[in-house]
Structure 1
Amino acid sequence: MRLTTNRLLLIVATCLSVAHAAPPAKVTVATDASSWPNFRNGHELRGVAGAALPENLQLLWSQPIPDGMVYTSAAAVIGGRVYASTLGGELLCLDLKTGKKLWRYLSAPKPEPDTFIPGFPAAPTVSEETVYVGDEDGVFHAIDRKTGKKRWVWKTQAEVNSSAAVVGNRVIFGSYDANLYCLDAKTGKKVWTFQTADRINGSPAIAGNYTFVTGCDQHLRMINIKTGKQEKDMALGSFMIASPAIVGDMLYVGTHDGEFLAVNWKKQEVTWRYSDPQKMQPYHASAAILGDRIVVGCQDKRVHCIDRKTGKRLWVFATRAQVNSSPVIAGNRVYFGSADRNIYAVELKSGKPVWKFRGKSDFNAAPSVAGGRLLIGSEGTQARLLCFGAK
């Protein structure tokens, strides 16, 4: 069993040890309420669903998932199918309505005896034809969405925790080998690579013809998708495990040092910093943003709602353990998991709790919302992927 706590400690330790010609890109963003194609439902990584969920959610089905799903993961949904990557090295395709298993893809079809096959720590990204996901051994996989058959693989030099962004005919992702990769989405051939100064843990955000990446080198980098050249580089003073979210000229991301930052990426200025001096705990969850509200989980066991314009606190919601699960906004509610083994729904406006489900293990993965269903995976030996909706 691979535990999130151990994985987080390893990530933090390794970061600290190092931290002293295609056509113009056409970006496709999820707006369909029936789908959730990548980690945060769209290239700008805002974590907002296309529609609200039923008020009284009921458990519709659950599916065992080997070793579970961690904080960098979430299920993807497209075409009535659910795609879930697990730390047990399985990519599962399930029927959204019934939870029935349609196919299973293994990171290593013929593992050595008495060894783990490489797990999938990242969320899958799904296009019309292909599922993309990286594994713990640094292999990036492209799998046929309908059949579960391998299309191609690309080998990096270290673990891939980053979920991919598909932009036109290109697929972009980061690796612990400190490189940002851009490959041909159909063939897997390299288009370009960009080397940073340390591990890339989060997923790349996309705005226009640029991709934005943060990581253990403490920098925010803006890379031209067409050329692979760095156009802006801004030191942020702390390494980042979370993925950034973008709204217009602004980028929002939490740091390991316990600050949440609003950055004007065009001006290369930090507009505001949010923190609680009494509880300076890491932000490893990625933020959800709707209108003027930012919602983000923290290892201080709380979920924070921040005014996007001023950086002032609007409300906090306390759980009994770390919140590494990245919140999702659906309608006027916020959904997230906690290491206290609960899944919560609170009002976006006030933070008032409106729904809760008690599970048997920690919920550190991010929820997904599609087709009137809420999906979230737990972790550990009793891990399951749960699907909620109206009965």
Structure 2
Amino acid sequence: MRRLFGGPVSMALCLGVAYAGGPGGDWPGWRGPNRDAKSLETGLLKEWPAAGPKLLWEVNDIGVGFSSVAAIGGTVYTSGDQGGKLMVFALDLNGKHLWKAEHGGACGGPDGSRSTPVIDGGLLYIINGAGLIGCYDAKTGERKWTREMKEFGGGRPGWSYSESVLIHKNLAIVTPGGRNCIVALDKATGEKVWASEGFDGQAHYCSCIAATFEGVPMIINGTGGGLVGVDARDGRVLFSDDWSAGNTANCTTPVYADGYVFWSNGYGKGGVCLKLKAEGGKVTAERAWTTDFASHHGGYIVRDGYIYGDTGRVACLDLKTGKQMWRAQGMGKGSLCYADGMLYLFGEDGGRAALATCSPEGLELKGRVQVKGKGPSWAHPVVAGGRLYLRYDTNLYCFDVKAN
């Protein structure tokens, strides 16, 4: 079911007026264009009206899901469990369904899709809870190829595979876990290009990032055995750290900034920051500091040398020292993203979202809005094309957050 809400913006959409501002307005997959939860957009509202930003549309038939959305080239993508299957959905900018494709079985335990679709070069990549990796035509939903995590020795984690595929140059990179912990596939064909060796960590619920340090391209991810970084060219292990090894569940995507890698997890574990060193074309890492900053799933961003993230409350840490600058009430435990100088907060209970300013001096809320759904919401907010997308349960809401 789709509901459009009237007014100038909705009318402009019906007339085909484009609101996305080119590549800066795109959010091609999990945690945005650089997988750091930061949008490249500008020209967004700095404060919301008392009733919240204008709701453009909502859809209520995308299956049960924790998947966030990808928004690129005038199309919005997400996934949901529906009828015992994982379904991938493509919507236009009015929320109208363009196509849907079945991608293996639904998750279960708990019900709800995990992986967020990733779009690159006209292709869409997705993983289901059992570890079925798939590539589809982003315009039509036609399947191009599939592989399975178990082909590479991977074992399904207790709450199912939750990873979103990382696209890096010509590679589609996933984390089956086990002896070949991280595997790179040819993104066009699905053929294996390399598999890491020398680090044996069970897959948990994190997604890879790509970063370059002193000319060395790296792929970094968290696992049940700790944090690992491999060479993006051949999968050779560069460094690892056993922080959070054996934890109940490691769920957050690590972040890289200015020669540091930060990773935080819930269940009382907290976070670790590694400082990278390079010598002779090799990269090593040592612990710079640890912290009780514990992010269950909602993640964190780095801005101007400071980490901002969810710990049940919003907190700010100095990236280089780990010093806590402040901890403040946001929307309770939840997730966040960053765009045009502002934090977008989304609480996991009750569908409450907020806009806030942040600096090393503190946090200030600049507006609130609430959406409907059942159970916890583990989908992260997305800002793309002047719009805020909030996924909660079977529902997807689209708000206008463009200034003027």
Using structure 1 for the length normalisation, give the TM-score.
0.80
Give how far 1:364 is off: 2.1
SS of equivalent residue, structure 1 residue 251 = strand
Specify which of 235, 245, 259 is matched with residue 270 of structure 2: 259
Specify which of 247, 261, 264 is matched with residue 257 of structure 2: 247
Structure 1: where are the runs of 5+ without partners? 1-30
Give how far 1:258 is off: 3.5
Specify which of 286, 302, 311 is matched with residue 313 of structure 2: 302
Matched, 1:121 2:114: yes
The 8 Å contact of residues 65 and 86 in structure 1, kept in 2 or not, is answered as: no
Give how far 1:131 is off: 0.6
Matched, 1:95 2:95: no
Matched, 1:213 2:217: no
The 8 Å contact of residues 143 and 150 in structure 1, kept in 2 or not, is answered as: yes
1:18 is aligned to none
The 8 Å contact of residues 26 and 33 in structure 2, kept in 1 or not, is answered as: no
2:368 is aligned to 356
Aligned pairs (5 A) from 1:151-170: 151-157=144-150, 158=156, 159-170=160-171
2:18 is aligned to none
Instruction: Considering Cα pairs closer than 8 Å and 6+ residues apart, tell me whether 1 or 2 has the greater RCO.
Output: 1
Structure 2: where are the runs of 5+ without partners? 1-21, 151-155, 278-283
Structure whose alpha-carbon radius of gyration is higher: 2
2:388 is aligned to 374
Which digits, 9 at most, give the CA deviation of each residue in 1:85-111, with x for residues without a partner? Answer: 224312111112x11111111114xx7
Aligned pairs (5 A) from 1:220-299: 220-238=227-245, 239=247, 240-256=250-266, 257-266=268-277, 267-275=284-292, 283-298=296-311
2:399 is aligned to 388
Aligned pairs (5 A) from 1:164-183: 164-175=165-176, 179-183=181-185
Give how far 1:320 is off: 6.5
Instruction: Mark the CA change 1:212 to 1:101 in structure 2 (over 3 Å): closer, same or farther.
Output: same
Total equivalences in the alignment: 340
As a proportion of its length, which structure holds more strand? 2
The 8 Å contact of residues 81 and 95 in structure 1, kept in 2 or not, is answered as: yes
Which digits, 9 at most, give the CA deviation of each residue in 1:107-133, with x for residues without a partner? Answer: 14xx79xx99x9641111110210101
CA distance in 2, matches of 1:242, 1:91: 23
SS of equivalent residue, structure 2 residue 345 = strand
Matched, 1:313 2:317: no
1:190 is aligned to 192
Using structure 2 for the length normalisation, give the TM-score.
0.77
Instruction: Mark the CA change 1:322 to 1:175 in structure 2 (over 3 Å): closer, same or farther.
Output: farther
SS of equivalent residue, structure 1 residue 348 = strand
Give how far 1:170 is off: 0.9
The 8 Å contact of residues 178 and 201 in structure 2, kept in 1 or not, is answered as: no
CA distance in 1, matches of 2:332, 2:189: 43
Q: Percent identity?
A: 23
CA distance in 2, matches of 1:42, 1:149: 24
Q: Give the CA RMSD over aligned residues.
A: 2.5
Range with greater deviation from structure 2 (329-338 or 305-314)? 305-314
Q: Aligned letter for 1:333?
A: M
CA distance in 2, matches of 1:68, 1:36: 22
2:68 is aligned to 74
